[in-house]
Structure 1
Amino acid sequence: MKIKLAALGAAAATVAVLTGGLTTPAASAPQDVVEIQPSTLARGADPQIAFQDRKRILDGDVRVYVDVKNMWLVGESGEDYLILTWGSGNRYQIRLVDPDGNLTLLRRGGPVLASAVLSGDGSRFATVQQGRRRSTVRVYDATDGTLQASRVVAGVASVLDLDDRRVVLGTWGPNRTLSWNTTTDRRRILVEKVGYAASIEADRVAWYTRDPYRRGRSVVATLSDTDTRLWRSRSLRVAEFSADGGHLATIALLSDGIGPSEVQVREVDGTVLDKYRAVWFGRIAFEDSDTVLLHVFGKRKAAIVRCTDAVCERASRLRRAVP
């Protein structure tokens, strides 16, 4: 059910009542790295963007418990939330959840191989059915699940972002970053490299110069003009763009497994602003232009943590640190 709070709030599974807005600096390690230990941080406000904590969606003064076995929050769609759920056989369902926790089935399929991506305005979402030599990209209405557009592209594709008329794709084999106009069904090659992150709202795109396991580098450019290169790195990749495009959250280029152990906040030209370290990090998101929300896992405890200018606070209740 939906729970309204008097104070700002929303952020961890069984979320506790806010204990105030105190902000406590996390202990700093040498070289200006902030070592985050969730259990040592004061409790602040809940996340002000939709954020998942196990089976709860936390969004400002709203808390929604979702009665499913497994779920992943895709994003906000109007007053509702789009989620991907799965069960036995890894067959997936894409559903809407209203603020009272009621579920509406939009699409089903399986197995779960690729995620769903929601447009910035929450009006539609895209999925990819990946094959060895080609992928099928489909775009659906986020209110009723109606198929709006479909296209087969060469290679193994990923949806990087979409809006009300186009989809940005990254593909391996051939290595390309594409823009597909779903109104005209025309596609345009943005760059002959594999795109791995993009934000239409921020006008940003990132790609690999080649396979990162074979000395490939990461390049950040403007999406509207990929000849305008903003930053490149041989050791880091973009995990998230801020909505205004002015900041990046970056992680190690070859981060894999459960998640990275360090996150950096940078200006778009790569200038380091802050570094955060923990046992590992889950979701990384910008709450506003220079504030990050981090799902932080310590040795024993985990929590959603808000950090601005190397100052951190808990944005959720503490939980046992399990993946």
Structure 2
Amino acid sequence: MHTRNPFLGALGALALLSPLTTSVPAVSASSDDQTVTVRAARLERGPDIVGPHLKGHTVVDGDVRVKVRADHVFLLGPTDGGYVVEVIRDGRSRTLVVAPDEDERALVKGSAAQVRLSGDGETLAVIRRVTRRTVIRIRSVADRALLAEESFGRYPELLDLDGDRLLVTRYDGGAVAFDFRAGTRRRVTDQRVHAADLATNRLAYYTADPYEGGCTVVAPLDRPTNVQWTSCDERVHAFSPDGSRMATVDKLADGAGPGQVWERTVRGRLLGSYRVTGYFGQVWWETTRDLLLEAWGRRKGATVRCSEGDCERVTAVRSTPEL
């Protein structure tokens, strides 16, 4: 699942005067008349979101509803018989499994610097505290059994977890694939990786520090030098579930979220360009072709579904959160 956390720093000139009836094929991100300005309150209501998602503090999955008691809730993804969530209560974070008509079950007790759920929902990688020499623990979601414990230097970050492999990057650049069943490591690249997907063999890295002119490169994870697309203005935010598409944002976007999102093939062909008067919060792929965006205007917003320049609203309109 690709909705692991809100857009982290943690994710148009064409107004839609008649929702889903007025659209211009997206051709060039540099051409304003190809960019759709998303005004969520004016969009027609489309079908509900497919798959597990949050509605306030409630996990919604088709007819299933699981209310979570917390000040803040972040959905990491489904697991066998339930859902893995990060919660903040009274200023402290925990990682839990929640399920209909069952007591919550703690996976990570106390605060963690980073938590990553595998694509199959079976394993969890945890960094308690990031230091120059950081211990990463991998546990079974079913019973919290410790499957592996490995030390990584130079402020590591969890990029992806799938099957038997964990992909880790470092603050100063470089990425390592760790097979935690076999206990072996393989260096993937010396470049600074900012997005990856083990299941679809996708990788995005910077050629240098992005604040000093570094550009984004997209390549197969197993062949990082086989360049599929490069941009000195955008970075990859998320790859689609089958790896055929990607959502990109401004290379230096941070804070609450980006003001523009581009929908592209992995070779860079522009499929859609979306802008909002406020900011985009979470940005994730619902399916291989449909992109979900929390589109917040100055006062109102909603989650919208967009694909190749056409958008529809998938949640109720509500007030833009105060940051």
TM exceeding 0.5: yes
Question: Is the counterpart of residue 267 in structure 1 residue 254 in structure 2?
Answer: no
For structure 2, list consecutive stretches of 5 or more residues without a partner in the other structure. 1-18, 25-30
For structure 1, list consecutive stretches of 5 or more residues without a partner in the other structure. 1-22
Question: Is the counterpart of residue 147 in structure 1 residue 146 in structure 2?
Answer: yes
Q: Secondary structure at the match of 1:213?
A: helix
Q: Work out which of the residue numbers 166, 173, 182 in structure 2 matches 1:184.
A: 182
Contact 1:265–1:272 (CA under 8 A) maintained in structure 2: yes
Which residue identity does 1:307 align to in structure 2? C
Range with greater deviation from structure 2 (116-125 or 27-36): 27-36
Contact 1:26–1:312 (CA under 8 A) maintained in structure 2: no
Q: Secondary structure at the match of 2:33?
A: helix
Q: Secondary structure at the match of 2:242?
A: coil
Report how far residue 79 of structure 1 moved.
Answer: 3.2
Q: Work out which of the residue numbers 56, 59, 66 in structure 2 matches 1:54.
A: 56
Report how far residue 84 of structure 1 moved.
Answer: 0.7
Query: 1 CA distance for matches of 2:104 and 2:311?
Result: 34
Contact 1:167–1:179 (CA under 8 A) maintained in structure 2: yes
Task: Quote the residue 1:103 is aligned against.
Answer: 104
Contact 1:135–1:156 (CA under 8 A) maintained in structure 2: yes
Distance 1:224 1:232, change over 3 A: same
Query: 1 CA distance for matches of 2:305 and 2:77?
Result: 19
Task: Quote the residue 2:191 is aligned against.
Answer: 193
Report how far residue 41 of structure 1 moved.
Answer: 1.0
Q: Secondary structure at the match of 2:128?
A: strand
Query: 2 CA distance for matches of 1:59 and 1:264?
Result: 27
Range with greater deviation from structure 2 (218-227 or 97-106): 97-106
> What is the TM-score with the length of structure 2 in the denominator?
0.86
Which residue identity does 1:95 align to in structure 2? L
Provide Cα deviations, 1:130-182, integer angstroms capped at 9, x if missing partner. Answer: 43412221111112222211111111111111112110111123x21110010
Which residue identity does 2:44 align to in structure 1? A
Q: Work out which of the residue numbers 226, 237, 240 in structure 1 matches 2:238.
A: 240
Q: Secondary structure at the match of 1:85?
A: strand
Contact 2:57–2:68 (CA under 8 A) maintained in structure 1: yes
Using the aligned pairs only, state the percent identity: 31
Contact 1:27–1:36 (CA under 8 A) maintained in structure 2: no
> What is the TM-score with the length of structure 1 in the denominator?
0.86
Report how far residue 31 of structure 1 moved.
Answer: 2.0
Q: Secondary structure at the match of 2:211?
A: helix
Aligned residues: 298
Task: Quote the residue 2:8 is aligned against.
Answer: none
Contact 1:97–1:104 (CA under 8 A) maintained in structure 2: yes
Contact 2:113–2:130 (CA under 8 A) maintained in structure 1: no
Question: Is the counterpart of residue 92 in structure 1 residue 93 in structure 2?
Answer: yes
Q: Secondary structure at the match of 1:109?
A: coil
Query: 1 CA distance for matches of 2:102 and 2:309?
Result: 35
CA RMSD of aligned residues (A): 2.0
Q: Secondary structure at the match of 1:245?
A: coil
Task: Quote the residue 2:81 is aligned against.
Answer: 79
Which residue identity does 1:165 align to in structure 2? D
Distance 1:25 1:146, change over 3 A: farther
Distance 1:102 1:43, change over 3 A: farther
Query: 1 CA distance for matches of 2:94 and 2:248?
Result: 31
Contact 1:130–1:157 (CA under 8 A) maintained in structure 2: no
Q: Secondary structure at the match of 2:286?
A: strand
Report how far residue 225 of structure 1 moved.
Answer: 2.1
Task: Quote the residue 1:250 is aligned against.
Answer: 248
Task: Quote the residue 2:226 is aligned against.
Answer: 228
